Amino acid sequence: MLSAATSLPALASASSDTARALRTRLLVAITLGYGLSYVGRLALGVVKKPLIDQGIYSPVMLGSMGSALFACYAVAKLFNGFLADHVNVRLFVAIGVTGSALCCIALGITTDSLIATLLSGLNGFFQSFAAPGCIIALAATYSSADRGRAYGIWSTSHSIGEAITFLVLGAAVGAVGWRIGFWGAAVFGLIAAAVVLVLMPRKLNKKESGESDPGQTRGQLIRAQFAVLKLWPIWLLGLASAASYVTRYGIDSWGILYLEEARGYSSAGAGTLLMVANLAGIVGSLALGYISDLLFDGWRPPANLLFGLLEIFGLTLVFFVPSSPLALWAGMIIFGIGVGGVNASIGGLFAVDLAPPLCVGAVMGMIGSFSYLGSALQEHVSGTLIQAGLHKVSGLNHYDFSGAITFWLGGAVVSMLLSLLLWRRGRREVAAA
């Protein structure tokens, strides 16, 4: 059987104009589909304050729910990354997105912490279907010469989903209540499933067309996938991505609470500020692809360092210049650009470069598992640190975020330092090996 990481026969036999149109259609499908589905992973972040204020859940309970989501996502993404190399990725992605939407509907109904935690974990399981399928389709369609730019465009899907979450859902939760945060995420998820089914080509490779390749058996593919587990650069990149996701989801999951309680923003105002940061993340994702492709000829580490420094500088402005609204806005924009570039590369593009061509799904599953184990750890630790800094004065909640801030900023520093250990690893070197 031929893996999904091989070239598309439809493109090979088509005219250049037709091939370009097919690539564009696929890129729109995976970018828009993944971006809309991503809202279901972030909805919990915009409902935390009303849930705490109404006494439905404590910060520790919410941390447990977020941790369950990311832990299940991490474990399932490893399995689903390996599985996605063998299946029809169009249906695979659509099934996962639909399952996530159904979980969000149920989360908007229940107020039982145990049931909500289980549903959050199940949501994470279904969320893990999308990324491996999207990356397999992208890697099959674009060569290494233009993959950085295509991957940069796809990586904007994260920021699209984050912007929708913080602007649309944030405003809706402020106006209607916490339940609409989950139900709105479900609506976006169902739209994402429709986008994938309508726009993604039905047959992405020879395997899905019913053709076989005598030089590549399923057993050989499985052995190649497990050989990936012996590649130490993948493990190191996974650790760097895990540290990066501590920072990324620290801001995504708790940023609205921080801006409301520490900086005095309304739900809509905090959501708008995070939306601006995530729109800046689109710039960062696109810039990473173009800079690493065109300036460094596909060598990712110099770009990783540049965007890592931007991320750290932006957070420094946000957290340590509290008296300046201008510094806050500038810091969030710079942070957004930095984290968009870092996650586009460390969380995926660099891993695809390091991956054997037949095992893109397996490598993305490994990196995703590390990334979201970092996110799960972040949710638990952040919830505990915020709970420790919470006290009541005259019946009102007051927060000390200093411990959480140190944790989030430390993740960015550790991620940058770990990625520097892969400085000599370039696309040409790996391709030659």
What is the average pLDDT across 335-341?
Answer: 92
pLDDT band at 3 (very low <50, low <70, confident <90, very high): very low
Q: What pTM was computed for the model? A: 0.71
pLDDT, position 144: 62
Chain centre distance of CA 209: 30
CA distance linking residue 430 with residue 357, whole number of Å = 11
pLDDT, position 147: 67
- Domain-wise residue ranges, the chain: 15-201+218-432
Buried b (16+ CB within 10 A) or exposed e, 25-64: ebbebbbbbbbbbbbbbbbbbbbbbbbbeeebbebbbbbb
pLDDT band at 393 (very low <50, low <70, confident <90, very high): low
- Amino acid letter at 313? F
pLDDT higher for 204 or 40? 40
pLDDT band at 244 (very low <50, low <70, confident <90, very high): very high
Beta bridge partners of 392: 397
Closest CA to 130 of 175, 162, 98: 98
Whether 216 shows a pLDDT value over 60: the answer reads no
Q: What percent of the chain has pLDDT over 70?
A: 86
CA distance linking residue 155 with residue 158, whole number of Å = 6
What is the average pLDDT across 391-398?
Answer: 71
| Residue 67, both tokens | 């941790």
Whether 372 shows a pLDDT value over 70: the answer reads yes
Query: What H or E segment, with its residue span, contains residue 392?
Result: strand 390-393
Q: Are strands 390-393 and 396-399 parallel, antiparallel or unpaired?
A: antiparallel
In angstroms, what CA-CA distances link 234 with 143, 196, 240, 293, 415?
Answer: 21, 29, 10, 21, 14
- CB half-sphere exposure, 175, CA atoms < 13 A: 10
| Residue 265, both tokens | 């923003």
Whether 184 shows a pLDDT value over 90: the answer reads yes
What is the average pLDDT across 353-366?
Answer: 73
pLDDT higher for 152 or 403? 403
pLDDT, position 15: 52
In angstroms, what CA-CA distances link 222 with 3, 130, 225, 397?
Answer: 10, 21, 5, 53
Whether 207 shows a pLDDT value over 50: the answer reads no
Which range in 85-89, 316-320, 383-387 is most confidently predicted, on average pLDDT? 316-320
CA distance linking residue 7 with residue 10, whole number of Å = 9
Is residue 414 within 8 Å of residue 247, measured between CB atoms? no
pLDDT higher for 216 or 185? 185
Chain centre distance of CA 416: 18
What is the average pLDDT across 255-278?
Answer: 85
Beta bridge partners of 150: none
Q: Which ranges of 108-146 does DSSP label H, i.e. alpha helix?
A: 113-127, 130-141
**Total residues found in the chain within this entry:** 433
CA distance linking residue 431 with residue 433, whole number of Å = 5
pLDDT higher for 315 or 133? 315
Could you say which of 1.10.600.10, 3.60.20.10, 1.20.1250.20, 1.25.40.390 is the CATH number of the domain covering 15-201+218-432?
1.20.1250.20
What is the average pLDDT across 245-260?
Answer: 89
- The tens digit of pLDDT for each residue in 6-29 reads 344 444 344 576 777 778 888 899
- Amino acid letter at 45? G
Q: Which range among 72-76, 195-199, 424-428 shows the weakest confidence by mean pLDDT?
A: 424-428
- The tens digit of pLDDT for each residue in 43-62 reads 988 888 889 888 899 888 88
